[in-house]
Amino acid sequence: MSTIGDVAKHAGVSRSTVSYALSGKRAISEETRARIERAIAELGFTPNAGARALKTAETMVLGLMLEFHADEFAPAMLQYVLPVSQAARELGYDILMVTDPDGPKAVHRIADSDMVDGIVLLDVTAADPRLPSLRAVRKPAALIGLPSDTAGLDIVDLDFGEAARMLVDHLQALGHREIVLISPPHHVVERGGSYVWRFRDGAIERAARYGLQIHAYYGESRQPAIRRSVEAILDAHPAATGLIVHNDATVAALPTILRDRGVGVPDDLSVVSLYSRDFGEEFSLPFTAVESAADDLGRHAVAQLVRRITRSPDAGPPVVRFVPPVISDRGSTRHRRR
C-alpha cells in the first residue's frame, strides 16, 4: 500500500498539504488539490486506519457485544445484529463483533486498547457482569436491555410491562376469563433477564385488576422439552381460553403442537404473543402479537451511542428509553364462546 508520503512525493507537495487536502481543514488551491487528487487516484491511496486512529483518538469502530448461551434461542438475539450494523455504517462506523464468553474481559480488551469508540451491549441482564467493566473503562456505551442499576448509562428497551398489559387488555376485552402465560425459561430469570419478570408482573397485575384468572408458567427453550411443557400446561387448564406466549422458542414450535392436539386457533384457543415482524415471517407465525421492534431498538441504541461519542460533553444526561409496544392483530383471537 502507498502512504501519504508517496502521494505527497508524487504530487510534489508536502505530507501535510495532502492531509489538509483530504480533510479540508485548511484552504488548498484548486490546482494543487487537483494534482493531489490525481496522485491519490493513480497510487490507489487509502489512509491507514491505525495511524489515523493513533493521532485522532477516533477509530470509527463500535463494539457490539453479545453472548450466546448454549441453552438459548439464537435467532432472537441475531435479530438485533443486522440493524445495529446497518445503523452504524450509515453513521460512518464499522462494527467489531465480540462474542467472547468472558464478557467483562472482552469489554476491557476492546476498550482499554482503544479498538473502539463506543460499545453496544446486547441482552443486558439485571446484574450484568459486564457493567462494572463498562463503568471502569472510559468509553461511551448503549445498552439494549434493562439492568437494575441504570446510573449513568444510556439504555433502550421495549416496555415489556406495558406490552403485557396490552395483551391482557386485548384478551379481557374479548371476554376471556381464564388465561395462561408462558414466560421464557426459568434459567433466564436466574441469569437476570429482567424482561421476563417485567412482562410477567405486568400481566399478573393487570389480570388481577380485572379479576381474570391467570396461570403463569416458565417455558422451555429446546425441543423436545418445549412440546412436553406446553402439553402439560394446556392439560392442566382445560378451561383456559386465552394463551399469552412470551417465549420465542415456544411460539416458534406452537403451531405444530397445537395442530397435533387438534386445538384450533382462534376457535378453540385465543393466542397472543410478543415477537418481531421478521421473526414472525421467518417462522411463519400467525399470531396476534406485540411487535418487539428489534430494528428500532438497535437503531436507537446506535444513534444514541454516536451522539455520546461525537459530543461527549454536552450530549445531555443519560437516557433510559422504553419503546412503546405496538400490537399487530393477525386474527389469532376471538370472542370467548358462551
Q: Does 126 bind a copy of itself (CB under 8 A)?
A: no
**Whether the Cβ atoms of residue 202 and residue 169 lie closer than 8 Å to each other:** no
CA pair distance 109, 251, nearest whole angstrom: 37
Q: Rule CB under 7 A: choose which of 44, 55, 211, 314 binds DNA.
A: 55
Question: Minimum Å distance from CB 156 to a copy of itself?
Answer: 21
**Whether the Cβ atoms of residue 279 and residue 79 lie closer than 8 Å to each other:** yes
Nearest one of 242, 184, 253, 185 to 215, comparing CA atoms? 242
Binding-site string for DNA from residue 35 to residue 54, where x marks contact by CB under 7 A and - marks none: ----------xxxx--xx-x
Closest CB to a copy of itself among 253 and 289? Answer: 253
The secondary structure of 31-90 as a DSSP string is: HHHHHHHHHHHHHT----HHHHHHHHS---EEEEE----TTS-HHHHHHHHHHHHHHHHH
Residue 12 contact, options DNA, a copy of itself, none, Cβ 5-8 Å cut-off depending on partner type: DNA
Cell triple for residue 190?
436466574
Closest CB to DNA among 31 and 267? Answer: 31
Buried b / exposed e over 128-155, threshold 16 CB at 10 Å, is: bebbebbeeeebbbbbbbbbeeeeebbb
Q: Does 312 bind a copy of itself (CB under 8 A)?
A: no
Residue 96 contact, options a copy of itself, DNA, none, Cβ 5-8 Å cut-off depending on partner type: a copy of itself
Q: Does 99 bind a copy of itself (CB under 8 A)?
A: yes
What does DSSP say about strands 288-291 and 326-328: parallel, antiparallel, or unpaired? antiparallel
Question: Minimum Å distance from CB 52 to DNA?
Answer: 4
Q: Does 330 bind a copy of itself (CB under 8 A)?
A: no
Residue 31 contact, options DNA, a copy of itself, none, Cβ 5-8 Å cut-off depending on partner type: DNA
**Whether the Cβ atoms of residue 315 and residue 308 lie closer than 8 Å to each other:** yes
3-class secondary structure, 182: strand
Question: Minimum Å distance from CB 92 to DNA?
Answer: 14
**Whether the Cβ atoms of residue 119 and residue 111 lie closer than 8 Å to each other:** yes
Closest CB to DNA among 33 and 176? Answer: 33
Question: Minimum Å distance from CB 119 to DNA?
Answer: 19
Question: Minimum Å distance from CB 132 to DNA?
Answer: 22
8-state DSSP, 126: T
> N- to C-terminal Cα distance for the chain?
78
Task: Enumerate residues 244-283 that contact a copy of itself by CB under 8 A.
Answer: 249, 252-253, 255-256, 259-260, 278, 281-283
The CA-atom distances, in angstroms, between 36 and each of 6, 13, 27, 73, 95 are 11, 8, 14, 53, 31
Nearest-5° Cα angle at 49, 45 to 51: 100
Closest CB to a copy of itself among 77 and 124? Answer: 77
Contacts with DNA, residue ranges (CB under 7 A): 1, 3-5, 12-17, 19-20, 22-23, 25-29, 31-33, 45-48, 51-52, 54-56
Contacts with a copy of itself, residue ranges (CB under 8 A): 1, 44, 46-51, 53-54, 59, 61, 64, 68, 73-75, 78, 81-82, 85-86, 89, 94-100, 108-110, 112-115, 138, 222-223, 226-227, 249, 252-253, 255-256, 259-260, 278, 281-284
